[in-house]
């Protein structure tokens, strides 16, 4: 069993960086600067922003399904980031954080979940994908609850 983890599409967020602060607010977003690292995980590059890097903190619908499991929360995105893909490998942003992993079926219904301590994400992902009914997994930071990335079978 193999899997793929990809960052969000940078093009979906680039327009935010040209907006005024007032216009950003209309998108439920604010401009921020990384003040320490790690601590500002970019959902495009799946890496933590460097100190001084400008970001936008935006409300993002991560699980856009017509089920009770539809989900949204705040995420950081960096203007300079390019989407990255990781095949059978855990992205840097997921390596040093405890994670909540939620396994969904093709209809967007929750079929299983795991908590993974820092460094244990690969085993937890493989354990969830052992259930053939699980089509994809959403990784969330366990402490803050924010969406990190979607894990898909490959």
Domain of 23, in residue numbers: 3-153
Helix (H, G, I), strand (E, B) or coil at 93: helix
Using the structure block, give the residue that is written with the tokens 């990781």. 86
Q: Distance between CA atoms of 27 and 16, rounded to whole angstroms? A: 8
CA–CA gap between residue 33 and residue 113 (Å, rounded):
33
Share of the chain above pLDDT 90, in %: 96
1 confidence band (pLDDT: 50, 70, 90): confident
Question: For 50-108, how does the pLDDT look when each residue is reduced to its tens digit (9 = 90+)?
Answer: 999 999 999 999 999 999 999 999 999 999 888 999 999 999 999 999 999 999 999 99
At residue 122, what are phi and psi to the nearest 5 degrees? -60, -50
Q: Are the C-beta atoms of residues 64 and 28 closer than 8 Å to each other?
A: no
pLDDT tens figures, 13-29: 999 999 999 999 999 99
Q: How many domains does the chain have?
A: 1
């Amino acid at each position: 069993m193999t899997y793929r983890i990809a960052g969000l599409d940078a093009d979906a967020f680039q327009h935010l960086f040209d907006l005024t602060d007032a216009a950003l607010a209309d998108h439920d977003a604010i401009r921020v600067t990384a003040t320490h690292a790690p601590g500002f995980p970019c959902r495009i590059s799946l890496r933590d922003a460097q100190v001084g890097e400008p970001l936008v903190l935006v409300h993002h619908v991560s699980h856009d399904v017509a089920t009770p499991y539809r989900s949204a929360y705040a995420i950081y995105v960096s203007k300079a980031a390019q989407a990255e893909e990781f095949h059978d490998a855990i992205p840097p942003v997921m390596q040093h954080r405890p994670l909540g992993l939620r396994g969904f079926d093709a209809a967007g219904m929750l079929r299983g979940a795991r908590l993974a301590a820092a460094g244990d994400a690969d085993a937890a992902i493989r354990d969830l994908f052992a259930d053939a009914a699980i089509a994809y997994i959403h990784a969330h930071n366990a402490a803050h609850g924010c969406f990190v990335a979607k894990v898909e079978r490959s």
